[in-house]
Amino acid sequence: MQIINSIIHMQALAIAPERGERRISFVPTMGFLHEGHASLLREGRKRGDVLVLSIFVNPIQFGQNEDLDSYPRNMERDCQIAEACGVDIVFIPSAAEMYPHGFQTGVTVRDIALPLCGASRPGHFDGVATVVTKLFNIVRPDVAIFGRKDYQQLAVIRRMTGDLNMPVEIVGMPIVREVDGLAMSSRNAYLTPVERQGALCLSRSIKRVRELFAGGELSVAVLMEEALTVIKRESLADIDYIEFRDGTLLHEVTIADGSTLLALAVKIGQTRLIDNTVLGEES
Ligand code: AMP
């Protein structure tokens, strides 16, 4: 008989025999893959023996008036990109199987999921936490790779996996941008050529704030003023939020330091785009 007092030890014992030596790495996505997703897949390839990609446009993370029905899809192209990145398994479940009649369980992460996108998209992170929990239970990854493009999502998932003792390592990867600075996103496909130009105001304001911070400006009021000025110069931009927060707990801050997060959500025409930077980290 063994007595075990450590969670990690208990989990290692429980999982090891069924798992063998094979490490599973996992990249969950909503598809319409681009170079940002590919960077996660390449990292996943390095970190595991079996690389699993999921493509699932998760209905429960979309609000009533959001773009669930119009979300861009191209399975054939996604599979080509996946193949080129060395994916072993593409998991494409149906919504009917993921959420059968009678489904009634959810995962809620509290404080860290409340501000920013949590405030503008009520219920969004419940949907994300629930689907990621389901996907982790289905795929049983050792390591899962997420992008820092969705900074708060990554923070929520780190919190959730820690709080609930999910035996999976979470890796966050840098934002991949187009050459002109626009953060890559499946939703960029919605933009008209004029809007595509207008969308540059997000990365432009990030760049401006980073320059000021690098020059010694630490006042969030001053940095905010600059960020607002850059965005407001763009007539197509409709600001959802621009916020400076502590990069770990997402608390509000008034004096910036290297760990301060600048997060933006801005509508360009009908398309809501997000972007962010941590002021002291490489962009
Ligand atoms: P999505 O398909 O939009 O749900 O994104 C799936 C994963 O890809 C998430 O972990 C995102 O953060 C990540 N991702 C999306 N766009 C980028 C990007 N431009 N750079 C890095 N990661 C990204």
The residue contributing the CA closest to ligand 1 atom 19 is 184
Told to judge if 37 belongs to the known catalytic residues of this protein, a careful annotator would answer yes
pLDDT in tens, 112-162: 999 999 999 999 999 999 999 999 999 999 999 999 999 999 999 999 999
159 lines ligand 1 (CB under 6 A): no
pLDDT in tens, 160-208: 999 999 999 999 999 999 999 999 999 999 999 999 999 999 999 999 9
Q: Is 241 helix (H, G, I), strand (E, B) or coil?
A: strand
Q: Which tokens in the block code for residue 168?
A: 């999976």
36 lines ligand 1 (CB under 6 A): yes
Cα–ligand 1 centroid distance for 261 (angstroms) = 18
24 in Cβ contact with 141 (< 8 Å): yes
Q: Which of 9, 37, 101, 251 is catalytic?
A: 37
Q: Is 152 helix (H, G, I), strand (E, B) or coil?
A: helix
Using CA atoms, how far apart are residues 82 and 26, in angstroms rounded to an integer?
A: 12
Q: Is 174 helix (H, G, I), strand (E, B) or coil?
A: coil
Cα–ligand 1 centroid distance for 216 (angstroms) = 31
- pTM: predicted TM-score of the whole model, two decimal places: 0.96
Distinct helix (H) and strand (E) counts, the chain: 10, 8
- Residue 65 is predicted with a pLDDT of 93
Best residue for ligand 1 mutational test, from 26, 27, 40 (most atoms within 8 Å of Cβ): 40
Best residue for ligand 1 mutational test, from 61, 149, 272 (most atoms within 8 Å of Cβ): 149
61 lines ligand 1 (CB under 6 A): no
Domains by residue range for the chain, with CATH? 2-173 (3.40.50.620), 186-275 (3.30.1300.10)
pLDDT in tens, 73-108: 999 999 999 999 999 999 999 999 999 999 999 999
- Smallest CA-to-CA distance from 151 within 257, 62, 261 is with 261
Best residue for ligand 1 mutational test, from 25, 37, 176, 188 (most atoms within 8 Å of Cβ): 37
Using CA atoms, how far apart are residues 13 and 1, in angstroms rounded to an integer?
A: 13
Cα–ligand 1 centroid distance for 209 (angstroms) = 23
149 lines ligand 1 (CB under 6 A): yes
127 lines ligand 1 (CB under 6 A): no
- Residue 36 is predicted with a pLDDT of 98
Beta strands at 271-278 and 143-147: parallel, antiparallel or unpaired: unpaired
Place of tokens 């699932």: 56
Amino acid, res. 123: G
- Residue 4 is predicted with a pLDDT of 82
- Residue 17 is predicted with a pLDDT of 67
